Chains A and B, each alone.
Chain A
Amino acid sequence: MNYTISSRIAHCLRYQMMGIVLLLFCPWSWTELRAQVTRHTLSGYVRDAAGKEALAGASLWVSEIRSGTSSNAYGFYSITLPSGSYNFQVSYVGYQTQTVQINLDRNQSLDFALAAANDLREIEIIDDRVRRQAQEIQMSKVELTPQQIQQIPMLFGEKDLLKTFQLMPGVQKGNEGSAGLYVRGGGPDQNLILLDEATVYNASHLFGFFSVFNGNAIKNASLTKGGFPARYGGRLSSVLDIRMKDGNMDHWCTEGSIGNISANLTAEGPILKNKASMIVSARRTYFDLLTAPLLLSASDGGGIGGYYFQDLNAKINYQLDDKNRLYLSGYLGQDKFYANTIAGGQGERSNASLGWGNKTGTLRWNHQISPMAFLNTSLILSDYTFAIRLSSDFDNETFDLRYNSTIKDIGIKADLDWLPTPQHKIKAGLQSLRHTFIPTAFVLKNSIAPEFNLDRVAREYSLESGFFVEDEWSVNERWLLQPGLRFSTFQAGTQTYARPEPRIAARYLLRSNQSIKAAYSEMNQYLHLLSNSGTGLPTDLWVPANQEIGPQFSRQAALGYTLDLPRHPWTLSVETYFKRSNGNIAYRPGASFLLIDPEVLVDEQNVLKVRWQDQVVTGSMESYGMELLIQKHSGRWNGWLGYTLSKTDMRFPELNGGLPFPARYDRRHDLSWVNFFEIRPHTIAKKGIKGSAVFVYGTGNAVTLPQGSFNAPIVGIPGYESINPWFGPGWNSTDYGTQNNYRLRSYQRVDLSIQVTRKTRCGERVTEYSVYNLLSRANPWFIQVEQGALSGRSRLVQYSLFAYMIPSVSWRFKFCKC
């Protein structure tokens, strides 16, 4: 079919959603007019053969044109080629590659169902798939699969998504045991964590020891550290995009596990076969349940208490027709400390609880507009709440105190994928999120003195919006460019911020398996996290940028080299980066987040009340480094070695005399060596045995160590009548020297695990024996200056949290209807 100029313009104007994009990019496709070639589109979905799960980022390679495409987040792919016969190779990590010969003489729809490669040796290594990493334009990105997460030994045997990402270069660990992510010099507040597109504000259980993500419910997760595509915004340092499983469309499966501290159970299956499916996954710690009878017995039935955390993930997906699909997913998570007492025979009782948790919900509509265009529209809800409750009922006198701190989001998002030619993959979209901040909600009801009852809620609202457009443009065989522009706005009260965020990435192929990549991105962050712990304490407070404390802004440039060894499953990647940000906040000297109250400065009695803006100072951060990643993708022994050499300095005019100082999480060296061994493959007849070994090393965190004490002379008031006319009594002060002047000892740890797998006809059972901190290294958690009991002299004491090896045993099962 021949295209004329007028028909092309009519095509441009037909779709409102593509209006801006098409006006911008229509001229690029004018070059095709000169060729006057008949083109057809092959489109469809790439899915898992067993459960029909969509596979995001699957590669479709066309050997005849030495180019290809990849599936989007929902498994949709589209490629437009001149008429002819082509050899399509479809591949995805952990799956067997499919090769299909197709005669493309008309627009066709073809879905690919890839079979999982249970044995990594089964993965056929072909030139094209191994070269994939060098050929991709996206740099600074790490992807993990549930299988990889399940194999890595973890604390108490609890598989953790965030802690697995900490084993990647460029991602620093926080404190001992912490699940916080410190990416390229950024703090944990600068990571955008998305679960099915909804923001998760506090991704930690138990003060950061575990993350909120239940691995059994996760389909895939990717962490982007730099070279951010224009579709992402709102945070400076990273984007952690986590997708839940859609649910097995073909048959029901149940899997579960029980370990040292928690148990989880997942069920997924078709509601209507090949039409609708669901998945429900739940996890809970059980320590409090085990100790409850003991506590009741010890208190003669009068009291009970404990701690638990729990997660519930659920999702339903429904295929309306070939071009439309609906998803509804949600997450509920909670941590809770509780103590309840019952006294006397009249039911007198007291209850106390401290809890926090996330709730997210996403309703999505996928619509295939045409063979070349795909639209996703989402309605997103998110809620994070920290709550304290104290109540009692004695002698008919009641007391009920509730304190909440909350951030809620409701928003809408629309993303369009348009693939008009193999040379252009265009994405465009809009997003708008309404944030509701409730830093304090205080309710007090009591029958003793009802005149003191209170019901006070402080609310702030803001609207964060953005639109973006980007194009992955294959200029020629060697050059791939990805220009993009995001425009973000933020409105809070009378203050409005509107900022462009240009993005550009480039890839130059030196050879088919070697490339140089570069990227530049500007990011804005309109929310601040007030925390002086950095480890995800539940009292961390999210607040919006305002007239006094503006948004954070960063610029990052990265340059990298990727080599895929031909005919061998090895990839070498070296990246350097430089990042500078400003608008970072830190607590003012002497400030404490505990005193934050977003009320007016003084109340009616002239009592000082503190606003959060008065407790913080703003400054800048500069970080640069080099990351090395060597991966072996398959074979009986595989894994990766990651090394980071980096430096991160902060500069705040009101801290450290305005001089730069190292960030607390500035680690000069960070090394992770992860190994997986297949000792014996599993079959129906024989148990399979796999092992894994992890070694990590990191330079110690920087802390401020007191240097000494001194009597700080206080200049007295002129005319003060004493022996010292100018000086009152001195103030006993501490000399801290410079900020973050001391390095904790280096962090080193070795973990081992053995997994014994027994395959059954319809499933498998896995018993895992693991040891955390095999060498019983006393890694520093924090240090403290203490007085020696005998000498009375000061001494420096290091506290370690997990100073001994911690063994654990867990048992997993999976059973599918067969």
Chain B
Amino acid sequence: MLNLRLPILQLIFLLLTVSCRPQILDTLDLELPSKLVVGCNLVVESNSLLQQDSLYLQLAQSAPLFGSSEPEDSVLTDAVVQLFRQRPGQGPQAGDTLNNFSITALGSPIEGNNLYYAAPTQIAGQSFVQQGYNYSLTVSSKDGRTVNASAAIPVSEIADTNIQILVTSPDEWSRNIQVKVRWRSMNEDPSGSEPSHFRINYRVTGIFQNSDYWNNADLTGYPNQLVSMNASNNGVYEWQDRFNFYLPFDTTGLANAQLEVAIQRINQPLYQYLQAIGQQGLSEDNPFGEPVVIPTNIQGGLGCLGTMITYRMRRSIPW
């Protein structure tokens, strides 16, 4: 439907602002600090044949909007990172602490907004990231800032998974592929105090080398790749999408192609975090859109400590 309100209201807004008197405000007393930005994801792979459990951590700093000083990136290179785990009802065990991380700059330096990733120097893998543990993260920068976060990986299982793939041929160069995914979550919390959240991604694999991109990686895309318990029917979830696949010039490899679907059970802070990033992306060009606050479970900082249990399935595509 033609939406006429936006250009008309933009014109009205412009007319009114033209007649306004601007005045620059003194912002020196605002004291906006630079905050540590931490992105950490703990991933459990249910099908270890395809991937391995992993832990990955990214560090950065926010750039205050006002103020005279720029954040010093050097405070991140010597940051102290500690990750603890504990089973509910149990005391600390040997091997429950990771505190040796190497921190490396990521990509080209950008003034005031550099990225660093931190990886444990000891092998983590399956021995550290597991279902049924609570995790606590602490990051301390050289200039004395400390942030904390905690998250849990629940014991979770899905069953009755069903993937339907329907292929139609609108023309000779492309195929329209509809994907329907259905699954049952076996560990729903009936009280609703720990609701389930999922993320669904899919891709076509086996055709292009090094180009197996995920079709719906964009958080602003439709349908939303994030699914919450509210959308389920007594623990049964359904999700679908369709996309156009452009055939390669050489179609002999199509027979090897498979559709890989990754159903990821994510924790609520990560669900809300990714949802907000998607909303911010959708509304960034609209001056009348409501501001989107990116939520965080990093106390004293920004970013997210997320947990993820990944269930992967591969199916042949009925070309």
Chain B 6-17, CB-CB to A under 8 Å as 1, else 0, gives 101100100011
Smallest distance from the beta carbon of A63 to chain B beta carbons, Å?
58
B179 neighbours in A (Cβ, 8 Å): none
Residue with the highest number of chain B CB atoms closer than 10 Å, among A599, A656, A720: A720
Bound together, the chains give a CA A190 to CA B188 distance in angstroms of 40
Judged by a CB distance under 8 angstroms, whether A803 is at the interface is yes
Smallest distance from the beta carbon of B262 to chain A beta carbons, Å?
6
A354 & B302 in contact (Cβ 8 Å cutoff) = no
> Apart from A590-B279, A707-B62, what 8 extra A-B contacts exist at CB < 8 Å?
A589-B292, A591-B289, A594-B3, A708-B32, A724-B56, A734-B291, A778-B21, A795-B27
> Quick check: which of B33-41, B89-97, B244-252 contacts chain A, the rest being far away?
B33-41
Bound together, the chains give a CA A725 to CA B306 distance in angstroms of 15
A719 & B51 in contact (Cβ 8 Å cutoff) = yes
Task: Decide: A733 near B277, CB < 8 A? Known: A718-B45, A797-B22.
Answer: yes
Q: Which single residue of chain B is at the shortest CB-CB distance from A390?
A: B4
B203 neighbours in A (Cβ, 8 Å): 717
Task: Decide: A727 near B58, CB < 8 A? Known: A589-B279, A778-B21.
Answer: yes
B286 neighbours in A (Cβ, 8 Å): 592, 594
Judged by a CB distance under 8 angstroms, whether A595 is at the interface is yes
Judged by a CB distance under 8 angstroms, whether B60 is at the interface is yes
Task: Decide: A797 near B115, CB < 8 A? Known: A403-B4, A733-B294.
Answer: no
The 6 lowest CB-CB distance pairs between A and B, nearest first, are A713-B39, A590-B279, A710-B62, A726-B56, A803-B21, A590-B283
A707 neighbours in B (Cβ, 8 Å): 32, 62, 64-65
Bound together, the chains give a CA A539 to CA B8 distance in angstroms of 10
Interface size on B, residues (CB 8 A): 82
B293 & A736 in contact (Cβ 8 Å cutoff) = yes
Bound together, the chains give a CA A721 to CA B260 distance in angstroms of 15
Residue from the list B9, B223, B264, B277 in contact with A539, Cβ < 8 A:
B9
Judged by a CB distance under 8 angstroms, whether B219 is at the interface is yes
Chain B 93-118, CB-CB to A under 8 Å as 1, else 0, gives 00000000000001100000101010
B117 & A590 in contact (Cβ 8 Å cutoff) = no
Q: List 18 A-B contacts (CB under 8 A).
A: A588-B279, A590-B289, A590-B292, A591-B283, A592-B290, A594-B3, A594-B288, A609-B1, A655-B293, A710-B113, A715-B274, A720-B213, A720-B217, A726-B43, A739-B293, A799-B17, A803-B23, A804-B21
Q: Which single residue of chain B is at the shortest CB-CB distance from A731?
A: B277
Judged by a CB distance under 8 angstroms, whether B63 is at the interface is yes
Task: Decide: A796 near B27, CB < 8 A? Known: A594-B9, A708-B64.
Answer: yes
Bound together, the chains give a CA A323 to CA B19 distance in angstroms of 57
Chain A 398-437, CB-CB to B under 8 Å as 1, else 0, gives 0001010000000000000000000000000000000000
Judged by a CB distance under 8 angstroms, whether A608 is at the interface is yes
Residue from the list B9, B54, B65, B281 in contact with A706, Cβ < 8 A:
B65
Bound together, the chains give a CA A221 to CA B222 distance in angstroms of 51
A608 neighbours in B (Cβ, 8 Å): 222-223
B82 neighbours in A (Cβ, 8 Å): none
B21 & A799 in contact (Cβ 8 Å cutoff) = yes
Q: Which single residue of chain B is at the shortest CB-CB distance from A801?
A: B20
A597 neighbours in B (Cβ, 8 Å): 1
Chain B 269-299, CB-CB to A under 8 Å as 1, else 0, gives 0100110110111110010111111110000
Judged by a CB distance under 8 angstroms, whether A730 is at the interface is yes
A657 neighbours in B (Cβ, 8 Å): 293, 295
Q: Which single residue of chain B is at the shortest CB-CB distance from A589?
A: B292
A708 & B63 in contact (Cβ 8 Å cutoff) = yes
A710 & B41 in contact (Cβ 8 Å cutoff) = no
A712 & B294 in contact (Cβ 8 Å cutoff) = yes
B127 neighbours in A (Cβ, 8 Å): none
List residues of B whose CB falls within 8 A of some A CB. 1-6, 8-9, 12, 16-17, 19-25, 27, 32, 34-35, 37, 39, 41, 43, 45, 50-51, 54, 56, 58, 60-66, 106-107, 113, 115, 117, 201, 203, 210, 212-214, 217, 219, 222-223, 242, 262, 264, 270, 273-274, 276-277, 279-283, 286, 288-295, 302-304, 306, 308, 310
B65 & A711 in contact (Cβ 8 Å cutoff) = no
Interface size on A, residues (CB 8 A): 72
A403 neighbours in B (Cβ, 8 Å): 4
A594 & B6 in contact (Cβ 8 Å cutoff) = yes
Smallest distance from the beta carbon of B183 to chain A beta carbons, Å?
17
A354 neighbours in B (Cβ, 8 Å): 8
Within 8 A of B (CB), among A587-618: 587-595, 597, 599, 606, 608-609
Smallest distance from the beta carbon of A752 to chain B beta carbons, Å?
21
Residue from the list B22, B39, B291, B295 in contact with A798, Cβ < 8 A:
B22
B288 & A715 in contact (Cβ 8 Å cutoff) = no
Residue with the highest number of chain B CB atoms closer than 10 Å, among A442, A590, A785, A804: A590
Judged by a CB distance under 8 angstroms, whether A50 is at the interface is no
B277 & A712 in contact (Cβ 8 Å cutoff) = yes
A710 & B290 in contact (Cβ 8 Å cutoff) = no
Bound together, the chains give a CA A199 to CA B184 distance in angstroms of 51
Q: Which single residue of chain B is at the shortest CB-CB distance from A733?
A: B294
A726 neighbours in B (Cβ, 8 Å): 41, 43, 54, 56
Residue from the list B12, B54, B65 in contact with A785, Cβ < 8 A:
B65
B58 neighbours in A (Cβ, 8 Å): 713, 724, 727, 730
Judged by a CB distance under 8 angstroms, whether A537 is at the interface is yes
Bound together, the chains give a CA A753 to CA B286 distance in angstroms of 42
Smallest distance from the beta carbon of A786 to chain B beta carbons, Å?
9
Bound together, the chains give a CA A801 to CA B15 distance in angstroms of 12
B289 & A710 in contact (Cβ 8 Å cutoff) = no
A592 & B283 in contact (Cβ 8 Å cutoff) = yes
Bound together, the chains give a CA A730 to CA B302 distance in angstroms of 13
A587 neighbours in B (Cβ, 8 Å): 290
A731 & B270 in contact (Cβ 8 Å cutoff) = no
Residue with the highest number of chain A CB atoms closer than 10 Å, among B32, B51, B290: B290
B289 & A713 in contact (Cβ 8 Å cutoff) = no
Residue with the highest number of chain A CB atoms closer than 10 Å, among B223, B242, B273, B289: B289
Chain A 721-743, CB-CB to B under 8 Å as 1, else 0, gives 10111111011011110010000
Chain A 781-818, CB-CB to B under 8 Å as 1, else 0, gives 10101000000001111111101100000000000000
Bound together, the chains give a CA A593 to CA B282 distance in angstroms of 14
Task: Decide: A721 near B1, CB < 8 A? Known: A589-B290, A657-B295, A794-B65.
Answer: no
Residue from the list A655, A739, A794 in contact with B66, Cβ < 8 A:
A794
Chain A 756-798, CB-CB to B under 8 Å as 1, else 0, gives 0000000000000000000000100101010000000011111
A717 neighbours in B (Cβ, 8 Å): 201, 203, 214, 217, 262
Smallest distance from the beta carbon of B251 to chain A beta carbons, Å?
23
Smallest distance from the beta carbon of B231 to chain A beta carbons, Å?
12
B219 & A388 in contact (Cβ 8 Å cutoff) = no
Bound together, the chains give a CA A731 to CA B54 distance in angstroms of 22
Judged by a CB distance under 8 angstroms, whether A343 is at the interface is no
A739 neighbours in B (Cβ, 8 Å): 293
Q: Which single residue of chain A is at the shortest CB-CB distance from B295?
A: A657
B291 neighbours in A (Cβ, 8 Å): 589, 704, 706, 734, 736
Smallest distance from the beta carbon of B302 to chain A beta carbons, Å?
6
A588 neighbours in B (Cβ, 8 Å): 279, 290
B292 & A710 in contact (Cβ 8 Å cutoff) = no
Smallest distance from the beta carbon of B267 to chain A beta carbons, Å?
11
B41 & A594 in contact (Cβ 8 Å cutoff) = no
Residue with the highest number of chain B CB atoms closer than 10 Å, among A539, A588, A595, A715: A715
B6 neighbours in A (Cβ, 8 Å): 594
B39 neighbours in A (Cβ, 8 Å): 712-715, 727, 730
Bound together, the chains give a CA A785 to CA B2 distance in angstroms of 31
A783 neighbours in B (Cβ, 8 Å): 25
Residue with the highest number of chain B CB atoms closer than 10 Å, among A595, A712, A785, A797: A712
Smallest distance from the beta carbon of A659 to chain B beta carbons, Å?
11
Bound together, the chains give a CA A794 to CA B25 distance in angstroms of 11
Smallest distance from the beta carbon of B192 to chain A beta carbons, Å?
12
Smallest distance from the beta carbon of A399 to chain B beta carbons, Å?
12
Bound together, the chains give a CA A704 to CA B292 distance in angstroms of 11
Q: Which single residue of chain A is at the shortest CB-CB distance from B306?
A: A715
B3 & A712 in contact (Cβ 8 Å cutoff) = no
